Amino acid sequence: MDLPSPHTVHATADPFGERLAHRFVLHRQVLGGRFRFESESEALLQLVESAYGRLPGHRLPGGGAPFHVALRLGAMRAVRPAAPPPVQVHSGAGLLCGVMDECNYVTLDPHGRRALVVASRDMLAHPYHLRYELIEFAVFTLATRGLGLVPLHGACVGRAGRGVLLLGESGSGKSTLALHSLLCGLDFLAEDAVFVRPDPLLATGVPNFLHVRPEALRFVDDMHVRDWIGRAPLIRRRSGVEKREADLRHGRWPLADAPLELAAAVFVSPRPAAAGTALLARLPAEEAVTRLFASQPYAAGQPGWHHFVQQLTWRGVYELRRGTHPRASVEALQALLTDAPAAVGVGG
């Protein structure tokens, strides 16, 4: 009688691959929590390292047990679209799922603080989507649920342990303001996603990349900075917007080395300030609450949201109109960080 091949024995005895050895392991401190990433694929862990390597090790009180993320690399898809399809989300039996297609998906057990990320080999040719829409989906969701964070679409900069949350619609100028805050010496916390522990208002993020529209460089006087951003990879968002993805982790830029306590929130407006008027104006509490709910529909359904809003409106929610140069907007943020937000920055 012919004996089955070792491959057949393995597939029959372990059809789910539960006993596969994880040859590569990475431990990283991300969003205030400890993460263990494990995989038999060195290429997948290189993507993890590109996202979370060389970051400041933010820690939050009561971080709890570590999170576990397993990454599996599968075979090539039989049909490979020009661009990966968008992720569809599902839930049931205490599990959360993000599905791109039958070969690329994420399954999360938030209560167990663990996730499985599965990617087809051809997805390695789409590192931006693999990193942001599968790996980041797992990390951000686990940290949000496990650490009691409010997840926000926004940016955050600060100084001396205090931060300002930057909010606004896509195209309002948050990334440009974050860039010029960085150039003016403010600490950079995050540019696209900010996570806040409601009590106290401690904000954490992933200060790895800055995404800048090419046309925003017209306000950058430093030719070395213009060249650095101009040589960064060009990525295309799902919206179709193209941005340069500049890596900030090279020692030149001040990255927030710990979570920042929020001093205020600012809605960045694309509208210019009227001549002779202040760029920064505090919103009435009722308007602030309405705009926070409208701008953050996902966060508004998460535990801790109402306490977060209460705390934030008490500290101050502002609208920031554009000046003649982004540096004027940065000066307004600096005033908030020094408890002197009165009419700073005047429209031209």
Q: Per residue in 77-112, pLDDT tens?
A: 888 888 899 999 999 999 999 999 999 999 999 999
Per-residue pLDDT, 11: 60
> What is the Cα–Cα distance from 153 to 167, expressed in whole angstroms?
7
Full strand arrangement of the beta sheet holding 209-212? 209-212, 242-247, 234-236
Mean of all residue pLDDT scores within the chain: 89
Q: What DSSP element (H or E) covers 306? A: helix 305-315
> What is the Cα–Cα distance from 291 to 302, expressed in whole angstroms?
17
Angle at alpha carbon of residue 57, lines to 111 and 107, rounded to 5°: 30
Q: Would the pLDDT of 168 be above 80? A: yes
Position 17 confidence tier, pLDDT thresholds 50, 70, 90: confident
Q: Would the pLDDT of 346 be above 80? A: no
- pTM for the model: 0.90
Average pLDDT over residues 115-140: 96
Give the residue carrying structure tokens 């929610």.
317
Q: Which of 19-33, 57-71, 108-122 has the highest mean pLDDT?
A: 108-122
Q: Tally the residues of the chain.
A: 348
Average pLDDT over residues 317-331: 89
For the range 23-29, what are the long-range contacts, defined as Cβ-Cβ under 8 Å and sequence gap of 24 or more?
Answer: 27/66, 28/52, 28/53, 28/55, 29/55, 29/57, 29/58, 29/59
Chain centroid to CA 219: how far?
Answer: 25
Which of 16-30, 52-66, 175-189, 253-267 is least confident?
Answer: 16-30
User: What are phi and psi for residue 49, nearest 5 degrees?
Assistant: -65, -40
Per-residue pLDDT, 10: 58
Q: Which of 245-254, 307-316, 333-342 has the highest mean pLDDT?
A: 307-316
Q: Would the pLDDT of 176 be above 90? A: no
Burial class of 33 by CB neighbour count within 10 A (0 to 12, 13 to 18, 19+): buried
% of the chain at pLDDT higher than 90:
68
Average pLDDT over residues 30-49: 96
How many C-beta atoms lie closer than 10 Å to residue 265's C-beta? 29
Q: Would the pLDDT of 129 be above 70? A: yes
Position 1 confidence tier, pLDDT thresholds 50, 70, 90: very low
Per-residue pLDDT, 2: 47
% of the chain at pLDDT higher than 70:
93
Tokens matching residue 324:
């003649």
Position 22 confidence tier, pLDDT thresholds 50, 70, 90: low
At 57, the amino acid letter reads G
Per-residue pLDDT, 347: 54
User: What are phi and psi for residue 246, nearest 5 degrees?
Assistant: -95, 125
Q: How many CA atoms lie within 13 A of 98 on its CB side?
A: 24
